[in-house]
Each structure stands twice: as structure tokens, then as C-alpha cells.
Structure 1
């Protein structure tokens, strides 16, 4: 009891520091920026409280329209229209009075040298290269038709974001405690695609309030679902999909002027029919350090100089997103690469939890049945290092039409899938480390390492003060 009373009477650390003028350092770490959507939510909450919270709706059993609310809204619109008409009438009367008093009309623009100078300066202003309309005499429908015929505007596959199956990394915090930074999980990738791709493209309000992202890069080994995520963005937002991959535009619109006209057509149609996604597959070839001889015919570096101008022509109000996918980002010139793609999402191979869910989901989706003879946990352990594409190929190779007919008398076994999986090459540890080393050199990777270093220093300083 005496000890408790003494502890209660002792001043706190903050009190001692204030009395004796000792400055105590605050923990430095990442602080969340103020939300741009908080004001909208507060406005909606206040509107609900003012209109609907205390409203008696017992009489409105069918929940029909409320005539009084409609009258109030329409009354404001009518007042605005009448106010404009009254202002026009008052201006006319004022002009008549001025004519009667002064004998001349007021408000005539005076001709002078300033207007001539303004015209000359306006004529001297140069229009940016990508904003110049090279097809002024053509309609949007004709441009749309030409892009479809040339294969630049393609139909997106119907893929939902929920079809990209993956679990959270439950061991992430445990690995961080032993100074090991874990790879992002597939659930993290799915969340980032929703934040940077789907929400800004699907909602004009979110696009205006959220930080502007013009270009997004999906990097990872072959088979992790990069192309699937591109189609998922288009499906969830109803966006048009333009394919500007080097292999797709090879031999089309030759020459610098024709290439500029092609990109101007894509930009014009994409802005007119928003939202739109411009996809560039194997985008590292555009910024490659040395082009292989086998790919010289496709001219993969055609878009290297004009792509930054294309992004510059995209304004803040345009719901157009450039998405690049790459299996080998380390082959590209890092400086030019990161100058175009401001956001980079590194997609790893799936971990155990994601593989367990994937095997179960794909087998059931392909028409198979899971019995006691099929050990999903064993398959998830044995498939360590394999991607989602490898697992899909293994399941499709086993579950043929004949095998599905035999399933009633011969259930699926683990050995069948292991044999099919062993015929494919996994993603080795060296390749994964190469991706990690490349990402650490990017601006986002460097910022992440600085943030981690700052948090560890803050933690050590806190322990010392304790």
C-alpha cells in the first residue's frame, strides 16, 4: 500500500522534463498523412443527421419518394434559374440607363496595342507534341474502328479481382522481429491493385482526391498472374484495353510521324471513352540496355523517347492508366525505367498459405473432387518455388475429360499432381534474390529501406531511454 501511494505521488517523465527544461525526444517514425476523403465522410454524416436521423418515416411503409424533399431541391434549382434571368433583366435596364445618361454604350472593348501583343504571344505559344491533334477531320468512331482493326484495342478477358486467389503472410511480423524483411503476399498485391488501379479508374471522385498515379509496373517471375491482374482491372472498372506491347505494334505505323499519330489516336480515344488502360507487355524491352539480334526486327525501343511525352499529355482529370508488365526488369535501364513507372508492385511466388488455397480452389474449379486420398497440405509443401501458372498447368494436365469421368470409381491422388508438377521448372532462389536486389535499387525500394532503418533506430533509442 505504501509503495502504491509513493508511485502515485511520483511525477511522470513528461512532468520532470518540463520542470527542469530537459527535452525528451519523441519517437520518429512513419506518420499517416491527413485523408482527403475525411471531409466527404463528415459532410455525408452531417447531412444524414440533418435530414434522415430524426425523420419520422412510419407513414412511408412502401419507402416511396418523398415529395417534400423533391420540392425543396427543385425550389433551389428554380431560384437559381430565376436569379439568372433577373440578373440579365437588371443588366439590360442598367445599359438603358447608361445610354440615356451618357449617350453611349458602356463596356466596349478598347482597341489598343495590348490586345495585339496578347494575340502575338498567344500565337507564339507552342502546342506540346502529344497534345497536337493530328486527326482533326476524323470522328472518334472511325479512330476506334481503326484501332480495333489494327489490334491495338483488344477485348479484355472477364476476370474478377477475387479470382486472383491468395492469402495474407501470417509470418510477416515474426520475420521482421529477426531482422528479415518478408516478401509481399498475394493478398497485399491484390490490395495494391485495388488502391492504385481499380479505385481511381472506377470512381472520378477517388481519382480527383487520391494521389495521381499515371503509370503502374507489375514485376515478377513468369506465371505469377501479371496479365491476369491487367484484365482484372479492366473487368472491375469497365475500362478499354489498349495493347502497345513491342510484339503487338511491330510492323505497324512505321516511321516517327506515324508512331506519333498512333499514340495520339490511342490518347484521343482513351480520353474520350474513359476509363482506359494502356498495357505494355515485356516493357523492359523498350528500355533495354542492348537489344538481342533476334528482336531487332520488332524494334522494341520505338516507344523509349515518346512514352514520357505520352504520360505528360495525361492530365489530372483523365482516368487513363499505363500498366507495364515484366519478367526481367533488371535488363532495363533503371533510370529511364523508374522515370516512366512511378509505382512498382513486386509480385512474388506464392507462399505456403497461398499455395494451399490455390490447389484447393483450382482443383474444385476444374471439376475435381477432394477426398482423403488427396493431401492438399502435401501438395502445398512440395510445390514450394512454383508459381500460380505452374499449379494451373499441373491441374489441367491431370484433370482431362477422361480423368473426370473416372473420378467416381478412382478418386484423385497426390501422386498424379506431383508427377505433372515435376515436369516444370520452378522459380529458384537465385531469381527471387535478383528481383529483391533490383527492387532495392529503385526509388521506392530505397525509400522503404530508409524507413526501415529509421524505425530500427527509433526502436533502439527507445530501448536506451527505458
Structure 2
């Protein structure tokens, strides 16, 4: 089944590659809408392929197939991120609405959900667990050492006394009522025959009514189940087939581990065998070929050649199919260019050329940006077609590794290792030949080689390590003690509930910018944070995002999203919030030490997320009087410097959260955060899902008595945080116990909600206006203004044409 799934994914991938890498280059597209439509279609199709590959990789047991699928999977993830980046640059928005594409491809909105590969955690489960245990142990030590038993506040003590007194009075009142009831029963007279008959009729009437209502309810439910409007209760419990499938999945995962261990052992055995049998012959053959090249170059040019550097591939250049003269010319040309042209000038010229090209392309039309993953995808697809597609595996039913393939793989690895050893020996031999044969020239060559070595020996300036003599454990302990290294809460990204935005495309067609739904926010976080942090290859080659800001009203789930990103990727979490760092590591040297500690440990324990809560405090236009003592802006300059030092190989992401971005200096904020994500209050669909799922999570039952639709409608403006508080105050332990007799109603949730202020329309508009001032928001506004100008110009031309036509007719 998984082989077939893999084959289907590769077939779709071949079609995508044929579209993206055609035989003849595509003409630039002048219509921006048509070009975006093409991008969106490719994006949706790649996401579908990603889902198929993720499923195939997750439960396939063949170790060699899994390695190829993993490479394809990483490349597809990277291509999805590239397309997303290109869509943002062409549409000037972080959120995209693709209802028409889904309709054309006959897909549901669920197909747009970004699948998070399970190997992000499954292949690092031991490492992630060790880190969690280490942080938990350090936190326990800190709590025991520093936190004495907290004293109860006077308010809490008064509340406790009130509860005890009210309970005592209630018990006393109940006792008095019971005594009065027993006295009344004793004084009543014995009932007569007429009273007994009336009582029996009353009981019969009530009972028959109850039975009739029960029967009617059961018939209504049966009819609704028959029509497919309700789920059959027996299907709500896991079926025997589902239980069997879960058991098979667990068995498959155990097989994966077993086969992987056998594969690793086979690699070691095969490597040892190849070294003993082929290593000496391989080394001898390489040396003979290199010596032959020395002689050919000497005969052709009169001098011995320079040996290719390791950076250029060493002797791999010699073994390439090139004549000695051609190879010498290439090396000489490369040397001249590196010696004569300063690098910064070359870069400047190249940038100027690229800029000129981009301007010309923009004038001519829109083209796809160059991809770092398409060549890898093409190569991996070729491997699948050449080897795995038509391979007969009838004899390998258990799907264990194939020894011949292991030999081929290890032969390549061993060849590369031997080549490096041979290169060292042959460089020395070449130097000796130059000295013995061409003494004068050899001396010059030696001086040249020394010069080269001195140039290559120059090392780049490294960042000054302030804690070179300390261990990782001691650094982690210090950060935990200072409250800078924290344990992420156990929440996942799918716990961030929200519905798809069904009106996005319609609103944009009418020139109205829609507010994104919570599902859109979840999708953007998957693309910008989870996928790059989860894979090293993707992070190195995909568009680099160093810092992102989550802005929105209080209670929309910004902090939850930060914790979810950490949990999905197994990231270490650091807290550099202004309130958390206040008073710690005072002075300039202290700030430098704090940031050095955090970023050093973040790189050592990558992937890592550095969280900055209340990010607006760091970029205040004017610091409020009450916060001047905290000095919230003291990290700003040093943090920007540390941000610049993050490279593509460092899986470190800075995530800021803010509920009051209006008080910030926009220029300095945008220097820090390259991506700004606006999180809105939930729409009707998201509110409906939130009420339903959160009530169930708390232990409540959603019955017909609970009008969720009305509840979702009247709670417009309330955030998920407000809803959670209201549910906690209503669905208590006592209320859960009496649910069978008194089902939950929508009216019960209104009083607690009435005590809190919702997000008013004015606040949402203020956030929208603020976002319009961000770099991406400005581009969006300019693009919209440009469209209006084009439309106006088009109308003007049409009017002129009409006038000229009328004049011509008049003359005629």
C-alpha cells in the first residue's frame, strides 16, 4: 500500500517537474492575477504531494527506500516554502485565499492544511526526552532551593472562611427542613380510596407521557441517522478494524527500528569488507591516474601543474573527463579572477546586474524565481525511475535492506575517504617532483604555494566566546536559575482551533481586505516556524526567517502558538521578555553576557525558539513613567547584533508576541522582525468550533438544549481566551454531575462573558491600520492604489475612444 502511495506521489511530482522545468523556457506573464493563479495551483499540488510522501515515509519499513523518500520529502517541503515566499512577494500579503483553485482541483479546504512530518519528533524522541528531563530536574532544584512555602493572602483566607461558614449554614438549614418534613408526614391522615385512585391516574399519566416522549425521541434519532444527519453512536467508539490498524501501526514502527539496526550493522560489515578487499587497489589506481596526469601536463605545457584545492574538489577535477590543457586553463583563469578582482566589487556588479535584470523582467512580465530544491527533486525522481519504479521485489516480501545497494553506497563513501588521503600524499609527491625537476620554477611554485597557504590560512574573525571554559550543563543551570530557559507547555498546533475562511476570495474580488481566520494563522505558523525548524536541510536552503512577530488582541492564543511550535519541533525554549529580564545581568557587560549565554546554548541545543513576550516594550516610542525603572529597551541594540549573527545552519528562531503594537516605533520594530503576523479575533465559524470543542474538553455535553449557533453569533468580538474563562466558570465539577437532569444551555455562559470586555470594532480597525504601515502592508496598499489607477486610466481611454468614434461618424 505504501509503495503504491509513494509511486502515486512520484507520478504527481514528475508532472509538477515537467511544468516547472519545461524543455523551452516559459514566456514572462504580464497579468499578475494569472501568474498568482499559477503559483497557487502549484502550491496546492505540492502540499498534496507532501501529504502523500509524509504518510508513505511514516509507515514504510524498507530502510533504503525510506532514505530516498526522506530526501524527496525535505525537498518538497523546501519547494512549498519557496512558493509561499513567492506568493507573498507577488500578492503582498501573508494570507492567501484559494477557493477557486480548490474548486478547479475538486478538493476540500482540509487539503490546504499543512501536514507536519512526524519524523520531526519520532527520530529525535530520545534526545527531546533527555532535554525535557534535564530542564525539569533543574527547575525542581531551583524551586526547592529558592521557593519557600507561599503564605496565604488575606483575601484568600477570608474567601476560605466564607466558604466554610456558608457550608455550615447550608447543612443546618437542610437539617431543619428534614425535621419539618418528618413532622408534617406524621400529622397527615391516611389516604382514602378516592385519593388512591386519583394518585394512580396521575402516576399513569406522567409515565405514559414519559414513555411516549422517549419513543418519539428514539424514532427521530433513528430517522436522522438514516438520513446521515447524525452519527450512529456505535460508530463513535473505535471499531475492531481501527483497533487492529493501531496494533499493526505499533508493530510496523517496531519493525522500522529493527530493520534500521540491521541496516546500520550491514553498513559497518560491508565497509570493513570493502576496505580489506578493494581499498588498496582503489588507492593504487587513483595514484597511477594522477601521476599519468602529471606527466601529460608536463608534456603539454612544459611545467608540472598546480594541484587542485580541496574546495574545488581535489583530484575529482582530474578524474573528470577533461584534457590536461583544458584543466590547466580553468585553474589559471580561476586564480587570475580571485587575485585581480576584489570580492566586494564582484558582488556589487552582480547585484547591479541582478537588479537590472529584475527591473527588465518586471517591465517585460513576471517570472518564477530560481529554486534551490528543483534540481534536487529532479535528481531524486530520476533515482526513483531508474532503480525503484520497475524493480521486482517479489523475493523481498519482508522489505529488508538490499546488500548490493549497501555495497554501492559504501563504495562511494570509501572512495571519497581514500581520495582525500591520496590527495594529501600526491600533493607532497608533486611538490617533491617540482623541486627535483624544475629547481627555479619549483622555488617560485613553492613561494606561490606558501602565499596561497598563507591566504587560505587566514581565518575569519570568530565571535568572542565569553564562556569557553564552561560546560553545557553549567550554562543550562545558570539560565534555568535566572528564569531564561523554560519548559514549553504541552500543546500542539492542532489544538489551536479555527475554521477555514470561506469568504476570503469573494471579499478580495470586491476590493475588501478580509481578516484572516484562525485556520489561516495556524497554516502560516506551520510554514514559517515549524517546517524550517524541523529539518536542517530545509532551514539551510529555504528562504531564511530569523525573527517573526505575532500581533493581536489579548486572548487570541499568541503564547499558545509559541509553545505549540516548540512542542511540534522539539525545540528548546528561551524567554527574553522585558519583564523577565528586568534586573538580571545589569550593565552593558551583563546584557552582552546574557545574550551570549542564550544564543550559545540555543545553537548547541538547536532547534531553539527565543520568545519575547510584550515585544512592544522593547521598541517603545516613549517609555511610560511606571516602567522606566525596568528599562525595557536595554536589550534592543545588542539583540539586533545577535540576530545578524544567526546563519542558515543555525536553527534558531526569535518569536515575539505583542498585544499593543500601536505604542512601538515601527522602523526599529521592522528591523528586528522580518515577518509580522496579525492574529484577529475569531470569526463565526471559528467561534462555533471553539465553543463545541472547549465545552467537550472541559467535560460538558453538547446536547440540543445547548444552542451553539446562537452562542457563537452573540459572542462576536470575544477571543478564545474569554471563552475558556467562561467555560471554566460554568462547567464545574458539580455542573458536570447534574448534566443528565439539567443539560447545559447557552444562557448559562452569558453572565461570565458579560463581565469581560470583548475586542471592539475600533480596536480591530486600529490594528488593521497599524498593520497597513508595516513594509508588507504598504506594498499591499500601493498595489491596490496601482490597480485603481490602471482601472481609471482604462476608463479614460475608453471615453476618449468613444469621443473620437463619434467625431469620425459626424464627419462621415
| TM-score bucket of the superposed structures, by smaller chain | 0.7 to 0.9
Q: What is aligned with 1:401? A: 733
Q: Is the contact made by 2:498 and 2:690 (CA closer than 8 Å) also made in structure 1?
A: yes
SS at match of 1:286: helix
1:285 and 2:289 matched: no
Q: Which protein has the bigger helix share? A: 2
CA distance in 2, matches of 1:54, 1:247: 62
Report whether the alignment pairs 1:69 with 2:405: yes
C-alpha contact 1:28 1:454 (8 A) present in aligned 2? no
> What is the alpha-carbon distance in structure 2 between the residues aligned to residue 27 and residue 108 of structure 1?
59
User: Which structure is higher in RCO with an 8 Å CA cutoff and minimum separation 6?
Assistant: 1
Look up the match of 2:627. Answer: 295
User: Which residue of the other structure, out of 12, 24, 31, is the alignment partner of 1:27?
Assistant: 31
Could you say which residue in structure 2 is the equivalent of 1:268? Answer: 600
Q: Is the 8 A contact 1:95 1:106 kept in 2?
A: no
Query: Which residue number in structure 2 is paired with residue 136 of structure 1?
Result: 468
Spell out, residue by residue over 1:231-274, the C-alpha distance to the aligned partner (whole angstroms, 9 max, x if none).
01101111111101111011110111111111011111111111
Question: Residue in 2 aligned with 1:20?
Answer: none
How far is the alpha carbon of 1:45 from its aligned partner?
1.5
**Do the aligned partners of residues 415 and 58 (structure 1) sit closer, same or farther apart at CA in structure 2, a change above 3 Å counting?**
same
Counterpart secondary structure, 1:432: helix
Partner of 1:40: 376
Query: How far apart are the structure 2 equivalents of 1:247 and 1:310?
Result: 20
SS in 1 for 2:388: helix
Which residue in the other structure is 1:4 paired with? none
CA contact (8 A) 1:284 1:329 kept: yes
Contact 1:387 1:426 in 2 (8 A): yes
Per the TM alignment, residue 310 of structure 1 is displaced from its structure 2 partner at its CA by: 1.6
Secondary structure at the counterpart of residue 306 of structure 1:
helix
Q: Give the SS at the match of 1:300.
A: coil
Aligned-residue RMSD, C-alpha: 3.1
Unpaired segments ≥5 residues, structure 2: 1-28, 40-367, 799-812
Q: How far apart in 1 are the matches of 2:469 and 2:444?
A: 38
Match of 2:766 among 413, 425, 434: 434
User: Hey, what does 2:317 align to over in structure 1?
Assistant: none
Find 1:363's aligned residue among 695, 698, 720. 695
Deviation string, structure 1 residues 193-212 (Cα, Å, up to 9, x no partner): 11111111111121122211
Instruction: Name the CA distance, whole Å, in 2 between partners of 1:61 and 1:445.
Output: 57
1:109-153 deviation per Cα after TM superposition (whole angstroms, max 9, x unaligned): 6599989x989x979x9x68xx32222222222111111111101
Deviations 1:2-47 (A, max 9, x none): xxxxxxxxxxxxxxxxxxxxxxx94345655444333332222211
Corresponding residue for 2:647?
Answer: 315
Residues 167 and 186 in structure 1, CA contact (< 8 A), matched pair in contact too: yes
* Contact 1:168/1:188 (<8 A) preserved: yes
291 and 85 in structure 1: CA distance in 2 versus 1, 3 angstrom threshold: closer
Q: Structure 2 vs 1, CA of residues 297 and 65 (structure 1 numbering), >3 Å: closer, same or farther?
A: same
Q: Is the 8 A contact 1:175 1:182 kept in 2?
A: yes
For 1:271 and 1:82, the matched residues in 2 are separated by 32
1:70-121: CA deviation from partner (whole Å, max 9, x where unpaired): 1211222233334444445545555565666578997996599989x989x9
5 Å matches for 1:337-352? 337-352=669-684
Alignment partners' CA distance in 1, 2:418 and 2:699: 66
Question: For residues 142-171 of structure 1, what are the alpha-carbon distances to aligned partners after superposition, in whole Å with 9 as ceiling and x for unaligned?
Answer: 111111111101001111110100011112
2:578 to 246, 265, 268: 246
Query: What CA distance in whole angstroms lies between the structure 2 residues aligned with 1:113 and 1:96?
Result: 15
SS in 1 for 2:531: helix
Where in structure 2 are the equivalents of 1:23-422 lying within 5 Å? 26-29=30-33, 31=36, 32=39, 33-34=368-369, 35-91=371-427, 93-94=429-430, 110=447, 131-422=463-754
In 2, the alpha carbon distance for the partners of 1:286 and 1:406 equals 50
How many correspondences in the alignment? 437
User: Looking at CA atoms only, which structure, 1 or 2, has the larger radius of gyration?
Assistant: 2
Could you list the per-position Cα deviations for residues 428-456 of structure 1 after superposition, in whole angstroms to 9, with x for gaps in the alignment? 01100110110111111111222334455
